[in-house]
Amino acid sequence: METYTIEQLAAKIKNNEIDLKQYYEELFEEVAIQQKRLNCMVTITREEAFKALEKESGSMLNKIPGVLKDNYSTKGILTTASSRMLEDYVPVYSAAVYESLEKANMALIGKASMDELAMGGTNKSALTGPVLNPWDTSRISGGSSGGSAACVASGLVPFAMGSDTGDSVRKPAGLCGVYGFKPTWGRISRYGIIPYASSLDAVGIFTRNVRDMAIVTRELAGRDNRDMTSSFNEVPDYLADLNPNLAKRTIAVLTTVSNEVRNEKIKANFEEMVAKFKELGAKVIEVTIDQELARAILPVYKIIANSEATSNHACLDGIKYGNRQPGESVDEIMINSRSNGFGDHIKRRFILGNLALATENQEKMFRQAQRVRRLIVQEMDEIFKNADVIIAPNSGQIAPKVAEASDDMLSDEYIILENYLALANFGGNPSLTMPVGMVDGMPIGLNITGRIFEEQTVLDVAYALEQVLDFKDRYKRED
């Protein structure tokens, strides 16, 4: 079947140049093939997609196929967050993002697999099993939004929604060779998204090029009264305002991260990208953050994220909804339901989150992490006084083999390089990962992070680089 970008398909629809019924029939045949190959979906929503064909909207997303991560509440459609606890949960309301997409008349293709409750970076913890990388099915998609990444990277849909608490959109985007964007915390409503850690969680988007990213971001951005953290800031027209001229841009190379890369090919690629930015006319400077603080990124993340998660998910008790197990008392029902409903790694994280929140520990664990978070964000703010964006390699490795991938590595390289993307969650910054090369047959990515609410700058810088590379609109599909 043909694979289109949002812009291409929207033009065909507008000009009546496509038989949409036939297109969607072929698409769902392809969905079945890729689902078998990649295990990327939890639920396939054929009926929803065909309903959209009977309706119209003035949006560029009118009748465009898209996918939602399975932590977006979808009224009347199974929403599991890839957890046994919610394996038969059907929301009675929809997330703000899904409402916006419904209003735009997007055609929902399905709900994508994810790490359980978004707590992981491999997509191996999903109730439905690991999601495989479209470029090599012996490798992981990355997580936690791995199903969404795989759906876009296999060309099934031109865009998919994810969520990003530490790197859960950007990391899998890089490993699967697509674009992953986490706009500013507060830019897009999180209402109705099953949370992980509220002070870090952000809506994220996958596409295969910058222009499509601008379209989806514009469609979703803006104030929503139901999310008290969503911003009143005006939303620019990201697509119309795209400007690839870098003549007045300053790009900061975060050497604290890039110097940690051990893979020579990834290192060489990054140096090549830095050279390209210079050729494009940008001023490129080298910056660092304090090494002790860089090594504290993972500890701060783990303590804050686990603590907020255990609090957010106290509601998952099997009483009002979710997997209910028998018990002689209310407490016993809750303990049995939670013990049965969550994976072991989730239980461990909740317990350790509770440890950091305990009255006797809170000051030295949770609050100390919140203080160090401020010190780290201050380092970033210092850099942003002299630079429009910060760049670094998205990861020091290509997608790991399924059997080898783990969330629990503690090597020096891993500590900084594989966790620094959480910087943008600490500060709430817009942060985009784009494909910039192939290493050993697998895609690698570059991350670009900007000042809060300066999505346009991040998109502009990515747009400039995209035009001198040959990695946009790529996907990998096999039978």
Partner 1 sequence: MDKEAMLKELGLKTMFDISDEQMPALVDEYEVFMHHVQVLEKIDTTGVAIMAYPYDIETTYMREDEPNDVISRDDALKNAKEVMQNQVKVPKVVG
Residue of the chain from 92, 248, 440, 479 that contacts partner 1 (CB under 8 A): 92
User: 381: which residues sit within 8 A by CB, 6+ positions away?
Assistant: 427
Q: Say whether 437 sits in a helix, a strand or coil.
A: strand
Query: What whole-number distance in Å separates Cα of residue 1 and Cα of residue 32?
Result: 13
Q: H helices then E strands: how many in the chain?
A: 17, 13
339 is catalytic: no
Could you say which residues in the range 413-472 bind partner 1, by CB under 8 A? 425-429, 452
Retrieve residue 196's tokens.
Answer: 């992980």
Residue of the chain from 78, 375, 439, 469 that contacts partner 1 (CB under 8 A): 375
Q: Say whether residue 212 binds partner 1 (CB under 8 A).
A: no
Catalytic residue among 145, 168, 230, 395: 168
- Min. distance of Cβ 221 from partner 1 in angstroms? 14
Q: Say whether 179 sits in a helix, a strand or coil.
A: strand
Q: Say whether 32 sits in a helix, a strand or coil.
A: helix
Give the interface size with partner 1 as a residue count (CB under 8 A): 78
Helical (H) or strand (E) element with 373: helix 368-386
Crossing angle, helix 368-386 and helix 297-312, to 10 degrees? Answer: 120
Could you say which residues in the range 114-173 bind partner 1, by CB under 8 A? none
Residue of the chain from 20, 78, 90, 469 that contacts partner 1 (CB under 8 A): 90
Q: Say whether residue 331 binds partner 1 (CB under 8 A).
A: yes
Catalytic residue among 59, 63, 69, 302: 69
Residue of the chain from 14, 103, 278, 348 that contacts partner 1 (CB under 8 A): 348
Catalytic residue among 73, 83, 141, 144: 144
Q: Say whether residue 351 binds partner 1 (CB under 8 A).
A: yes
| Part of the chain binding partner 1 (CB under 8 A), chosen from 103-111, 175-183, 257-265, 333-341 | 333-341
C-alpha count within 13 angstroms, C-beta hemisphere, residue 282: 30
Q: Say whether 397 sits in a helix, a strand or coil.
A: coil
Do residues 428 and 233 lie in contact, with contact meaning Cβ atoms separated by under 8 Å?
no
- Min. distance of Cβ 196 from partner 1 in angstroms? 15
| Part of the chain binding partner 1 (CB under 8 A), chosen from 2-10, 86-94, 151-159, 209-217 | 86-94
Query: What whole-number distance in Å separates Cα of residue 289 and Cα of residue 282?
Result: 22
Residue of the chain from 3, 229, 259, 457 that contacts partner 1 (CB under 8 A): 229
Retrieve residue 89's tokens.
Answer: 């949960």
| Part of the chain binding partner 1 (CB under 8 A), chosen from 48-56, 104-112, 331-339, 439-447 | 331-339
Query: In 26-76, which ranges are E strands?
Result: 41-44, 65-69
Could you say which residues in the range 253-292 bind partner 1, by CB under 8 A? 292
Could you say which residues in the range 187-206 bind partner 1, by CB under 8 A? 199-200
- Min. distance of Cβ 179 from partner 1 in angstroms? 23
Which C-beta is closer to partner 1: that of 215 or that of 305?
305
Crossing angle, helix 20-38 and helix 146-153, to 10 degrees? Answer: 130
């400039």: which residue's tokens?
Answer: 464
Query: What whole-number distance in Å separates Cα of residue 316 and Cα of residue 266?
Result: 42
Q: Say whether residue 368 binds partner 1 (CB under 8 A).
A: yes
Tell me the CA end-to-end span of the chain in Å, nearest whole number.
12
Q: Say whether residue 371 binds partner 1 (CB under 8 A).
A: yes
168 is catalytic: yes
Retrieve residue 300's tokens.
Answer: 């701060």
Residue of the chain from 54, 58, 240, 329 that contacts partner 1 (CB under 8 A): 329
Residue of the chain from 271, 364, 401, 441 that contacts partner 1 (CB under 8 A): 364
Q: What is the 3-state secondary structure (H, E, C) of 113-143?
A: CCCHHHCCCCCCCCCCCCCEECCEEEEECCC
Residue of the chain from 108, 132, 216, 300 that contacts partner 1 (CB under 8 A): 300
Which C-beta is closer to partner 1: that of 114 or that of 300?
300
| Part of the chain binding partner 1 (CB under 8 A), chosen from 21-29, 226-234, 237-245, 246-254 | 226-234
User: 201: which residues sit within 8 A by CB, 6+ positions away?
Assistant: 163, 164, 165, 185, 190, 193, 195
Residue of the chain from 367, 413, 439, 477 that contacts partner 1 (CB under 8 A): 367
Which C-beta is closer to partner 1: that of 15 or that of 329?
329
- φ/ψ (deg, to 5) at 437: 175, 175
Active site residues: 69, 144, 168
